[in-house]
């Protein structure tokens, strides 16, 4: 599975302006609700519950909030580049690059494969820098597409 297979082009936000982790999660839930047809509150509550288990801020300005949802019928991904925000990341650095991953309850190994693929993409310092400097959402999508390598 490639990231582009689960990331709709219109699920990329460039330069969101949020002031807190909660606002960022609300932005992600709102975007996901628009694209999946699921209830925004359901998504937000699931994301908040997942964050209570431990932060999805993986360091180096990157977060991968993710959760399983019964009501979802296929994997959904979104990307947001935001003003730096405290995300309680493992390295205590603010987050500005965020991939959201929502998976159906029965997704099994696909959930972990998708998380690994997203993490691998953003661990590439060149890709992360390019995403931070991309001029718009189309450029971000193209960067993701061009760097979405097969395993």
Active site residues: 66
Q: Which CA distances in Å does 59 have to 19, 40, 63, 79, 87? A: 18, 27, 7, 16, 10
In a 3-state reduction of DSSP, which class is residue 46? helix
DSSP assignment string, 104-129: ETT-THHHHHHHHHHHHHHH-HHHHH
CB 15 within 8 A of CB 82: yes
């Amino acid at each position: 599975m490639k990231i582009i297979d689960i990331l709709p082009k219109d699920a990329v936000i460039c330069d969101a302006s949020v002031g807190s982790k909660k606002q960022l999660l609300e932005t992600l839930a709102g975007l996901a609700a628009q694209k999946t047809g699921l209830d925004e509150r359901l998504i937000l509550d699931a994301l908040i519950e997942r964050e209570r288990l431990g932060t999805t801020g993986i360091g180096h300005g990157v977060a991968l909030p993710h959760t399983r949802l019964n009501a979802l019928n296929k994997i959904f991904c979104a990307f947001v580049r935001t003003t730096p925000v405290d995300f309680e990341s493992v390295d205590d650095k603010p987050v500005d690059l965020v991939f959201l991953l929502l998976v159906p309850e029965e997704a099994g190994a696909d959930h972990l494969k998708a998380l690994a693929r997203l993490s691998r993409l953003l661990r590439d310092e060149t890709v992360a820098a390019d995403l931070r400097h991309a001029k718009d959402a189309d450029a971000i999508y193209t960067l993701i597409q061009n760097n979405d390598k097969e395993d």
